[in-house]
Amino acid sequence: MTAQLSAGSTIETRCTRCNGVLNHTIVAMVGEKIVRVECSTCHGVHAYHPVKPAKAPATAKAGQKKASSPRSAKADPEAAARAEWEALQPEMDPAQAIPYDMNRVYRLKNLLSHPNFGLGIVQLVILPNKIDVLFQTGKKRLRCG
Ligand SMILES: [Zn+2]
């Protein structure tokens, strides 16, 4: 399990100059921490700014209370995840799915195929070695890289 991010790896992060989340090449690291990156678009080298997860309007308060009724489907994070997965499903091409391998590095929006959970989309990359993946059965946090 030594396949970790290192200088030369590509990572998605915010470019201060392009003002968007773009591919960057890691140019300097301190330990496991990325300190400097080069934007693949404008080739500007700047400090690494971790990407903040997008605001999730409905799910922000989820997880505080136990669901009292299974009938309240709208508040059920599993049902929400399933609906989200089904909305994205037409864009999922199984031929392009990357088989899940905990030693591999994944990027945002990668399509992966998991032996137990099936097709999933990488929704969040948690450095240095975890990813949140949306599967039909819900969101899973998996180890990677
Ligand atoms: Zn840039």
- Each residue of 29-73: pLDDT tens digit? 988 889 999 999 999 999 997 776 665 555 545 455 554 555 544
* 46 CA from centroid of ligand 1 (Å): 9
The SS3 call for residue 89 is: helix
Q: Where are the alpha helices (DSSP H) in 2-145?
A: 77-88
* 38 CA from centroid of ligand 1 (Å): 8
Question: How does residue 98 score in pLDDT terms, banded at 50, 70 and 90?
Answer: very high
Which residues lie below 8 Å from residue 90, measured CB to CB, with a gap of 6+?
A: none
* 42 CA from centroid of ligand 1 (Å): 4
Out of 39-43, 74-78, 108-112, 138-142, pick the least confident: 74-78
In which region does residue 8 sit, left (phi positive, over 0), alpha (psi from -120 to 50) or beta (all else)?
left
Distance CA 115, CA 130 (A): 18
Mean pLDDT value of segment 4-14: 89
Average model confidence (pLDDT) across the chain: 84
Which residues lie below 8 Å from residue 30, measured CB to CB, with a gap of 6+?
A: none
Give pTM, 2 decimals: 0.48
